[in-house]
Structure formats: C-alpha cells, structure tokens
Structure 1
Amino acid sequence: MSSTALTRAGRTARPRAAAGTDSTRLRWSRRLQHGGWFVAPFLVLYGLFVILPVVRGLYLSFTDANISGDHTGFVGLANYREALRDPLVWDSLWHSTQFTLYVVPLIVLVALLMALIAHHTTHFKWLWRLCFFAPFLLPSAVIGNLWWWLFQPTNGMVNHVLGLDTPWLTQKSTAMLAVVVATLWWTVGFSFLLYLAALQNIPQHLYEAAELDGANALQRMLYITVPNLRSITGLVVALQVLASLQVFDQAVVMYQFGPGPEESTRTFVQYTLEQGFTTYRVGYASAISFVLFVIIAAVALARMWLLKSREEATR
C-alpha cells in the first residue's frame, strides 16, 4: 500500500474513533441526565448521614477525644493497642459471638419449619403468615420489656407454663439464653418470609415426579426442598450473623440497661456505648467500633467469596 493510501486510511480512522468517543460520551451524558437527578437526593443524604460520620469516627479513633470535644489530641494507634489489650473488649466480643452461635442455627431451623407449615397448610394461610411475622413488627423496647416480664421467676409466664422457678434474668447460666429466646421470637419472622418465598419458587413438577418414582415425604424434603433452598439459607445465615454481632437493644432493655448477672450479657456494642457515653472516651469508643466494623466486613467479604466460588463451581 502506498503512503498516500495510508494517509487517507488514517484520516478516515480518526473521525471514526472520534465519532465512537463522542457517542460514548453522549450515551453516558444521557444516562446521567435522566438518572442522576433521581439518585442525587439519596447520594446527598447517604454522604451526610453515613459516609461523613464514618470518616469522622475514623478520625476520632486516632485521637483522645472526649464527649465534649475539647482538648482533642492525636494519639495515633494508641486506642487500637489499648483495645487489643483490654480484657473487657474480648469478653464483650465473646458474648456477642456466643449469642450469634446460639441464635443463628435456631433461627434457620425454626424459620424453615414455620415456612413449611405455612406453605403446606390448606386452611387459613393468611393467619399463619400473620402470626409468624407479626412479632417482627414490634419495636425492640417492647420486646425487651415483654420478655423481662415473661421471665420473672415468681409471676412470669415462662416459669408458670413450664412448672419451674428458674431465675432466668438473675443467674449467669440462663441470662444469655433468655436473650436468645426473646430474639428468636422477635426476629424469626423475617427469615420465615424469605424461606416462604423460596418454597413457592420450587417447581411443583419436581415433587410430582419424585412422588411417581416412589419417594416419600422425607426423601422429597432431603433431595428436592433442601437443595433448592441452599442459596436462601446462605443468605439467611449471612444476614443473621451480621445482625447478631450487633446485638444490643433487647439485651440492654431486658437487663435494665445493665451488663447482666456477672456481666454475662454485655455485648460488644454495649461496651462501645459505655466507653463513649459513660466514661466519655469518644476516641477509644470510636476505635472499638472500628474493630467491630472490620469483623463485620470480614464476615461479609467471606460470604461474597463463598458465593462467588460456588457460582464458579456450578458453571
């Protein structure tokens, strides 16, 4: 090809490339023009009430700030080093972990059982769904006060029904169990709805084919229902773990804003608030809160990695 032909080809290619670039810019401009105004209010509020407080809290975690905001000095990683050596930090983290280990498996099992009942029942389905989901709509303060009364040793309904005289709220061995039971009754309705929606999406012809092949109810449950609920179970577990690590409201209300018998129900969030609003050490409380943030972020990333690995394995 001659040099004249190459020159003409280059002149032709440049306008085409420019036209492609202009087309891309025009496409993005149209997207921002039509969608940007709709998301702008959310982005402004998200920045003001989420991003800005997080950045401010991260800054305070490197200072010795108090609740009044006076005499704030930069201390570097001193707060984080103190948090790693603080035995109460580890105790409260263990209490939150203990609560999570108790409540998450119970919520998964009970929510699945409730969903199976509501899905297979033939009469008053709306009533079953209402009864199972209604407690989830109650505020945490109502839940805490309600179960505080139910667990009273003398006139509480729990001891009356079970025929016991157990001091649920005043002895260390049962204090955390009482919070677990209250939380299970309160929050299982959300997971119940997720399982119910997943059950309704399982094709009915799978059960019909299995029944024609002679599979009994247990076999249909193990080989059809459970495998089809695997993804929703992973979602329920992830959501409940993230929520349980941040347990605070119901435990604090049930124990009258205290740490429970022998400090057995003091959770990580409660200890953080004690440092910030009782001892007025805002900088140290910010550092502790970011320790919990790192733990929760690690759990969320682990969940995403497992989900991605499972999707790649099924391809």
Structure 2
Amino acid sequence: MSTLVQAGALPSRTAAATDSARARWGRRFQHGGWFVAPFFVLYGLFVIVPVVRGLYLSFTDANISGEHTAFVGLDNYREALKDDLVRDSLWHSVQFTLYVVPVIVVTALLMALIAHHTVHFRWLWRLCFFAPFLLPSAVVGNLWWWLFQPTNGMVNHVLGWDTPWLTQKSTAMLAIVVATLWWTVGFSFLLYLAALQNIPRHLYEAAELDGAGSLQRLLHITVPNLRNITGLVLALQVLASLQVFDQAVVMYQFGPGPEESTRTFVQYTLEQGFTSYRVGYASAISLILFLIIAAVALGRMWLLRDREEAATR
C-alpha cells in the first residue's frame, strides 16, 4: 500500500516542480522579458533569418534575381576551395590583420599611458585620441585617399617624398594599414584607459617604496594587470580586421588595388554577389569567412577558459 502511495505521489511532485519552474520563469519574464523581447525579435529578423537564408543559398546556384534556383549541393564549396581569387583575397585579409593588429595594440597602450599619466589638459588628450573613431568609414577613406596623393598629398609633402602610395603594389596595403590605425586605434585606447584606471594605486606606492623604477612598475604591475584587456583587444581587432572592407574599397575607388593586391575577402564576396550576380556562390564564400571568424572567437574563449582554470588551481 505504501508503495502505491509513493508511486502516486511521485507524478504529483514532478508536476509541482514543473509548475514551480514555470512560475519562476513567468515571474522573470514579467520583470524583464518584455524589455528584451523587441531586441530578440529584431535580432531574429535581421540576423538569424539572414544567416539561415544564406546557408540555404550556399547550396544553390541562385542569382541576384532569385529566379531559376536549383540545388547544387556542395558544388559552390568545392569551387571556392579551388578558386585562386578566394585564396588570394583571404591572404590579403590575413596579411592586413597581421600588419594592423600588433601595431594597434602597442599604440593604444602607449596612448592610454600618456592620457592616464598626463596632468595638464588630460581631457584634450583623450578627445584627440578618440575623435577619429567617430568618423564614418567613407570620410576616412576619402581623407586618406587625398593625403596619399603623390603630387599634392600631405604625406609626401611632409616627408619630402614622391611615393605613389596608392598605385604601387609594395605600398598599397601599407596605406590601408596607416588609415585604419589612425581611424580605429581610439576604441582600443579607450579600453586600455578604463583598465588603467582600475589598477589599485597602492600597488604602485608599494613598488615605489621598494625602489622600483618606472620601467619596472610598467613591466611588473601595469602589463600583468592589463592581461585580460589585452586579450580582449586582440580578439576584437582580429575579428574586425578579417572583415576589412570599407576603407579599402573607398581608398581604391571600389577597385582591387594595384595588381589586385588589396582585394579583401569581403570585397571578393560582394563582387561575386553584386557584380557577377552569383548569390549562391557568394553565400558559400561568406559562410567560409563566418566559420573562420567563429573558429578564432572559439579559440580565444578556449584559451581564456584554460587560463582561468589554471589561475584557480
């Protein structure tokens, strides 16, 4: 008899637990769900739906008109793996990333140190360092296109050179790197500045009492305390640099640059989709870039998790 009672009580307990969980989720949704619901709706419409649609198109031979679409399976991906322009454009994006990311990290840190330790006109330093980041990409591209002109450009005028920055292969990518550094370093500078302000002051005071110099305090206090923010800056800059597009196409008048040396992966994707009208093939290429970026992001999360686990041991 007791067994029957216990067996009958078990479903009722399960139902009660389920009802309790539903009640908790209902209360949580009442408190904050209606505030985040518009975001999830817009995120689904403008992110999830396009991603799913692009995934479907990557397995078809769809054109820009959307007519006569046929399923082709993995043919687009096989073609992309054999396409020399895919490899070249991917290498250009990787090359740009290798050039710009280390320079941005070091420059942003130096700028943050200057703005943090400056006594007079501190607000002016911060404004000057961050202001270029607020400019639109079209303005930045056209500005540096004019600055790099060989005859009347300010860069050659100041340096006393006559280098054709935008028309020769050896300097074409360097011009984009310089423009991007000037434009985007302000964001990383702001992250470093906020992190510097959170370092406890008593660490520096104790180091000074022990006779540590400025360089020793920088290497043994500042840099270790900025380790997490440096990892964040590296990850954000790598992900952004792999998607370089705006400044490159504006500076080279929407062309691939001298000897096609500045055609990036995103630019080649758009060329296939909106110039060659091969939407299916462009979707497959864009998905390849998505997988590369996802791998970089997941790799960064994995390294960060291992570091945190090692720190807690």
TM over 0.5: yes
| Residue 124 in structure 1 maps to residue 130 in structure 2 | no
Give the aligned residue type for 2:230.
Answer: T
Tell me the TM-score normalized by structure 2: 0.96
CA distance in 2, matches of 1:286, 1:220: 50
Give the aligned residue type for 2:276.
Answer: T
Counterpart mapping for 1:1-315 below 5 A: 18-315=15-312
Deviation of 1:37 after TM superposition, in Å, equals 1.6
CA separation of 1:192 and 1:14: change in aligned 2, threshold 3 A: same
CA distance in 2, matches of 1:242, 1:18: 47
Deviation of 1:22 after TM superposition, in Å, equals 2.8
C-alpha RMSD of the superposition: 1.4
The SS at the match of 2:259 is: helix
Give the aligned residue type for 2:29.
Answer: L
Give the aligned residue type for 2:123.
Answer: W
CA distance in 2, matches of 1:168, 1:244: 21
The SS at the match of 2:109 is: helix
- Kindly tell me the number of residue pairs found equivalent between the two proteins: 312
CA separation of 1:213 and 1:67: change in aligned 2, threshold 3 A: same
CA separation of 1:150 and 1:30: change in aligned 2, threshold 3 A: same
The SS at the match of 2:119 is: coil
Give the aligned residue type for 1:193.
Answer: L
CA distance in 1, matches of 2:28, 2:9: 29
Deviation of 1:21 after TM superposition, in Å, equals 3.6
Q: Which runs of 5+ in 1 are unaligned?
A: none
CA distance in 2, matches of 1:68, 1:248: 25
CA separation of 1:278 and 1:9: change in aligned 2, threshold 3 A: closer
Deviation of 1:12 after TM superposition, in Å, equals 6.9
CA separation of 1:251 and 1:26: change in aligned 2, threshold 3 A: same
Deviation of 1:19 after TM superposition, in Å, equals 3.9
CA distance in 1, matches of 2:73, 2:11: 54
Range moving further from structure 2, 287-296 or 39-48: 39-48
CA distance in 2, matches of 1:14, 1:269: 56
Give the aligned residue type for 2:262.
Answer: T
Range moving further from structure 2, 20-29 or 159-168: 20-29
Q: 1:204-252, CA deviations, whole angstroms, 9 ceiling, x for partnerless residues?
A: 0000000100100000000000000000000000000000000000000
CA distance in 2, matches of 1:249, 1:91: 18
Give the aligned residue type for 1:175.
Answer: A
Tell me the percent identity: 84
Deviation of 1:20 after TM superposition, in Å, equals 3.7
Range moving further from structure 2, 34-43 or 13-22: 13-22
The SS at the match of 1:100 is: helix
CA separation of 1:7 and 1:80: change in aligned 2, threshold 3 A: closer
CA distance in 2, matches of 1:43, 1:25: 21
CA separation of 1:282 and 1:14: change in aligned 2, threshold 3 A: closer
CA distance in 2, matches of 1:40, 1:175: 46
CA separation of 1:40 and 1:214: change in aligned 2, threshold 3 A: same
Give the aligned residue type for 1:306.
Answer: L
Q: Which runs of 5+ in 2 are unaligned?
A: none
CA distance in 2, matches of 1:24, 1:56: 35
